[in-house]
Structure 1
Amino acid sequence: MATVLVTGGTGFVGAHTIARLLDDGHTVRTTVRDPGRATVFGDRVATVTADLRHDDGWARAAAGAEYVLHVASPFPAGTPAHEDDVIVPARDGALRVLRAARDAGVRRVVMTSSFAAVGYGWGATDRVFTEADWTRTDGPGVTPYIASKAVAERAAWDFVDAEGGGLELAVINPVGIFGPVLGGGLSPSVRIIAAMLDGGMRIAPPVWTQLVDVRDVADAHLRAMTSPAAAGQRYLALSGTPVSFAEIGRILRAHLGDAAAKAPTRTAPAALIRLLARFSPRLNDLVPQLGVVRRADNTKLRDELGWTPRPTDETVIATARSLTHR
């Protein structure tokens, strides 16, 4: 068993990844921005205060670790005043983690990137995206957050190539991450399910997403951490085919009964969403995604690392049930 540093351990993916590492018998350390913010794992996990925007703490966090799982990444609460407000912390934060890992003699870093670094900026297309593709940051529909994922991942690969020494890098590129909530706040994807359950989304926008279960994302990280084949590779993590928001609503209605009585099963016209978006910044971010169906291929992760994702229905139901039990 190894000593593993997980950045952002209080987040959705970080918490599930830590839980899996502990189950497998690893010694786990995690980083927190706020020293007063405890993790759900108590004294089973050592914490180090470190912020992606500053150098302090990263050398101590990485010291003695054999592996680093870099899960932390800034996610803006709203549209930032300037794109650099989200791009710079994501890029520079990744580089801080990589430098600290290299200097500490870490064997491998597994970085959580995103499908946002792979399949955006292409407009409407029938293309099935693979790990060979990159988001065109100057293309249509690319928000600052989407651009930040592509910029940060490219910077990570460039750093390892030019300055990494013996440090290995592997990257996981998940699509929309759903699944059971362990504690703390809700991720943006889980908030979609929450809005469907509580009536906040009474009619579905014409938006499609590909899903992956957070437990399967954690599994992908652990497989990429130890597999010799994963060094120098990126992996798309997704389950099944794209699903519309209305289809998600129908899954909820079919399996949760009264708890999902408010879930939407009808789709709003795109023109209505565009009209409402003039008065709602939250809806305005959806406009470039209206009617766009993006497809990706998980063959590489399944074939090279033996990864098997849960079905979409199972993930949607598990997400909703965890919310109803909170």
Structure 2
Amino acid sequence: MPETVLVTGGSGYVAGWCVVELLRRGYRVRTTVRGHGKERAVGEAVATQVDAADAAAERLEFAIADLTADRGWDAAVEGVDHVLHIASPLGNAVSDDSAAMIAPARDGTLRVLRAATAAGVRRVVMTSAANTASPSSYAEEGVTDETLWTDPEDPALIPYRRSKTLAERAAWDFMATYDGPTQLTTVLPGAVFGPILATSTIGSVGIVQRMLSGALRGVPRIGLEIVDVRDLADIHIRAMTSPQAAGERFLATGEFTWMLDMAHALREGLGEQGRQVSTRRIPDVAVRLAARFRDPSLREITPALGRRNRHSTAKAHRVLGWRPRPARETVIDCGRSLLAHGAV
């Protein structure tokens, strides 16, 4: 019998691709959704990449569980060999109330770990974020690795970064008091782009969608470490299966790319279909003024204007043999997928 892997949050962008890749590699997959209404949508999205009959009828099943409640998690992990904990509770990324994001992220992670350790799951691979291994503020530049932890007490830290840092910290603190067979590994991705499975869950790909539609009438001076969602699914599985990965953190960032370079890649790679992509650079001062007076959602990016904070993935290369594809390829594939799904 093939091993069974629980993937939390199957309706999400990254989780959906992890489900696809696990099925391709012959695993049985159980994925959590928050309600029965999402099962069909997840199955249809996965079927675009995996044979529908095989995936839906034989090796893909669903469990109803919500990170904000205890109910359902014991049943979700029953008979499971591994857990990919990818789901993250929804929150307001620009809220001034950090607690509104921290509590759901931290408590949801602990619910999954308690259920997994009680069931004797062999390994939990948790999706964290590269910004949990970054200088606390953006004042410093350079290359960091997994040995660095973001300081969650930095008053300049936005709620999203604080919540991700505290959620991962809570996971490691929990495992430090646990004495049993279950192992923990964390994966710390950068900016996730690539093909979509469905228009209902596009995650961070919304940036490329706005660029292609012309809604983004200029590009800020922001640099992203772009990782392809397919490569991110791959490193989760490598982290799940490698004996050397137990108890380790792995950065899963890709090539550092300015948003202006993304815009040029879309225009050049998509030809006429990329004609609405703006290559006009928005001055930093204009972004800061807009964040202050017109669009609070921009507050999240203003500290990063012009910064080149980067992360080393040498550990993932050395221990897991992981190699991400070039950012340009990811961005163009992302654009093509959005167009093919009619999302633009």
Q: Which TM class, normalised by the smaller chain length? A: over 0.9
Change (3 A) 1:78 1:305: closer
Matching residue's letter, 2:34: R
Percent identity, aligned pairs only, is 43
Aligned to 1:10, what secondary structure does the other structure show? coil
The answer for unaligned runs of 5 or more in structure 1 is none
2:265 aligned with 1:251, yes or no?
yes
Contact between 2:4 and 2:28, CA under 8 Å: does it hold in 1?
Answer: yes
Q: After superposition, what is the alpha-carbon deviation per residue over 1:138-185, rounded to whole angstroms, capped at 9, x for unaligned?
A: 336521111111000011011111025221001100000101001143
Aligned twin of 2:224: 209
Aligned twin of 2:29: 28
TM-score (norm 2): 0.91
Distance in 2 between residues matched to 1:50 and 1:91, nearest whole Å:
16
1:87 to partner: Cα distance: 0.7
Matching residue's letter, 1:319: C
Matching residue's letter, 1:7: T
Aligned to 2:210, what secondary structure does the other structure show? helix
TM-score (norm 1): 0.96
1:80 to partner: Cα distance: 3.2
Change (3 A) 1:164 1:201: farther
1:122 to partner: Cα distance: 3.0
> Once superposed, what is the RMSD of the aligned Cα atoms?
1.4
Contact between 2:12 and 2:203, CA under 8 Å: does it hold in 1?
Answer: no
Aligned to 2:139, what secondary structure does the other structure show? coil
Aligned twin of 2:6: 5
Change (3 A) 1:190 1:141: farther
Matching residue's letter, 2:219: A
Distance in 1 between residues matched to 2:110 and 2:263, nearest whole Å:
40
Matching residue's letter, 2:282: A
Alignment of 1:259-278 (within 5 A): 259-277=273-291, 278=293
Distance in 2 between residues matched to 1:288 and 1:75, nearest whole Å:
23
Alignment of 1:195-206 (within 5 A): 195-206=210-221
Aligned twin of 2:209: 194
2:299 aligned with 1:284, yes or no?
yes
1:85 to partner: Cα distance: 1.3
Alignment of 1:20-59 (within 5 A): 20-38=21-39, 39-40=42-43, 41=46, 42-43=56-57, 44-59=59-74
2:219 aligned with 1:219, yes or no?
no
Matching residue's letter, 1:191: G
Distance in 2 between residues matched to 1:140 and 1:206, nearest whole Å:
24
Aligned twin of 1:322: 337
Matching residue's letter, 2:14: V
Q: Which region of structure 1 is more displaced relative to structure 2, 278-287 or 207-216?
A: 278-287
Q: Which region of structure 1 is more displaced relative to structure 2, 35-44 or 157-166?
A: 35-44
Q: After superposition, what is the alpha-carbon deviation per residue over 1:189-236, rounded to whole angstroms, capped at 9, x for unaligned?
A: 201100100011111011111100000000001001111000000100
Change (3 A) 1:161 1:82: same
Alignment of 1:23-172 (within 5 A): 23-38=24-39, 39-40=42-43, 41=46, 42-43=56-57, 44-80=59-95, 82-139=97-154, 141-172=156-187
The answer for unaligned runs of 5 or more in structure 2 is 47-55
Aligned residues: 325
